[in-house]
Amino acid sequence: MNIVWKRTICAVLALLISLGSVCVPAYADAASDEAAEEFAVRDGIGAGVAVIVGCGVQRVCDSLIPGMEKSTGAAAAVFEELTLDIGAEEPFVFIHASDTHICRAGPGDEYRMMKMSASRRRIFPYCMQVLEDVAKKAEELQCFVVHTGDMIDFVSEENLAQAQRFTDRVDCIMAAGNHEFTKTLSEKDETPENKNAYLEQVQRSFRNDIRFYARQVNGVNLVALDNSYYQIEPWQLEKLKEEVERGLPVILFLHVPLYTPEEYDYAVAAFGLPAWLMNVPEKKMEGYGEDAILHQGADESTKEAYDYIVSAPNVMAIFCGHMHYNHLSMVTPQLPQYVTDCTTGRIVTVR
């Protein structure tokens, strides 16, 4: 290959890579870059390179697992279809989305949030487009959406306004994620006190109670539960039991996936420890840091809820997010758990 060809190929590659960062705001500074990297690690996203796949769709990929693609940077929602045969009286459709991470700040927000927004938009540059695509698809299919948390990246007035625009437009069942209750993006900010402090403000952008909600559709009970801090509280467990004991087929929506050996191995292979799953057995938490054990270790009601969910014969499927990858694992031989990433819309037909 002669030097002219080499230079041409390099120029084309540089152009393609630069396309992946066209949405980076001009005011992102070096400090923000460092923060973005730090948050990226915490949110399980490799530094990545922009590539072009399919019909010009850009994704940010990394190679922690060869062949695995975490599509946090897709320039548009990618829709996948799934059918659940669980005994609905009449078939119905919904779209499962998760972890959109709207990361905006506006004139009503503090300056530090503008900086945070600049950093985070490098990681989630297409969040608004993905949400727009999901809304359009829901309108086209005349169906509702279930969002399993982290619709917003941090509590800013602008993020909440954008979330409300979405929930005003489409019928959206929401289960809270950990990012619904953070103003600093630090895990140290994830305390029950802060959750309670921000809950009223955040709740206003959503139609249903984002900590617990149930809706019956065509003889199927859809139950959305906030387990965003890796715990299920006693009052949530009681309400869950009430819903399950109605005897209808149940689909459960959570932010944090339940521990399964396969999910654990997959998560650790992708991101290392900790595994960011609910009810990880103590012996599997060896190697976790002290803070992670304190934050993620299951309390008694969480352990009880886990045992209850896996033994309830009418809990038919679980949908969740938090991991920023697409994955299916079996919690029991009868109970599939679908983890959905930031840019996938799962079009679920329930029969």
Q: Which is nearer to Fe ion, 46 or 87 (CB)?
A: 46
Should residue 180 be labelled a site residue for Fe ion when binding is judged by CB under 5 A? no
Q: Provide the minimum distance between the beta carbon of 49 and Fe ion in the complex, in angstroms, as a whole number.
A: 21
Residue from 71, 72, 102, 150 touching Fe ion (CB under 5 A): that is 150
In this chain, which stretch among 23-31, 94-102, 209-217, 240-248 interacts with Fe ion, using CB under 5 A?
94-102
Taking the least distance from each CB to Fe ion, the nearer of 150 and 190 is: 150
Task: Rounding to the nearest 10 degrees, give the CA dihedral for residues 205, 306, 329, 71.
Answer: 30
Q: Cβ distance 40 to 309 under 8 Å? A: no
Q: Say how far apart CA 182 and CA 156 lie, in whole Å.
A: 9
Which of 240/339 has CB closer to Fe ion? 339
Residue 249 in tokens: 């087929």
DSSP code string of 76-116: S-EEEEEEE-S--SS-EEEEEE----B----TTS-HHHHHH
Shortest CB 304 distance to Fe ion, Å: 26
The one-letter amino acid at 268: V
Q: Amino acid letter at 27?
A: Y
Q: What is the nearest approach in angstroms of Fe ion to the Cβ of residue 309?
A: 22
Smallest distance, Fe ion to C-beta of residue 176, A: 12
3-state secondary structure of 226: coil
- 45, 74 contact by CB (below 8 A): no
The piece of 10-18, 135-143, 145-153, 219-227 that touches Fe ion (CB under 5 A) is: 145-153
Min dist CB 147 to Fe ion, Å, is 11
- The interface region with Fe ion, picked from 17-25, 114-122, 148-156, 243-251 by CB under 5 A, is 148-156
- Identify which range of 57-65, 143-151, 191-199, 293-301 contacts Fe ion by CB under 5 A: 143-151
**Residue 100 vs 279, nearer CB to Fe ion:** 100
Indicate the residue among 150 and 226 with the shorter CB distance to Fe ion: 150
Query: Alpha carbon of 305 to those of 190, 228, 299, 314: distances in Å?
Result: 21, 14, 10, 15
Q: Which two tokens stand for residue 309?
A: 């969910």
CB of 138 to Fe ion, least distance (A): 21
| 98 vs 167, beta carbon nearer Fe ion | 98
Contacting range for Fe ion; rule: CB under 5 A; set: 9-17, 137-145, 150-158, 249-257 = 150-158
For residues 151 and 177, the answer to whether their CB atoms sit within 8 Å is: yes
Distance CA(163)–CA(206), nearest Å, equals 8
Query: Which one of the spans 61-69, 95-103, 254-262, 295-303 is the region binding Fe ion (CB under 5 A)?
Result: 95-103
Q: What share of the chain is helix, strand, coil (3-state, %, to 5)?
A: 40, 20, 40
Q: Does 99 bind Fe ion (CB under 5 A)?
A: yes
Q: Which is nearer to Fe ion, 185 or 244 (CB)?
A: 185
- Tell me the closest approach of the beta carbon of residue 210 to Fe ion, in angstroms: 15
- Both tokens of 136, joined, read 């359009």
Q: Where are the alpha helices (DSSP H) in 125-191?
A: 127-141, 157-169
3-state secondary structure of 332: strand
In the shown chain, the binding pattern of residues 219 to 258 toward Fe ion, with x for contact by CB under 5 A and - for none, equals ----------------------------------------
The full length of the chain comes to 351
| Total of chain residues touching Fe ion, rule CB under 5 A | 2
Confirm or reject binding of residue 341 to Fe ion (CB under 5 A): no
Residue 344's SS3 state is strand
Of 147-155, 212-220, 260-268, 271-279, which part binds Fe ion (CB under 5 A)? 147-155
DSSP type of residue 184: S
What residues make contact with Fe ion under the rule CB under 5 A? Answer: 99, 150
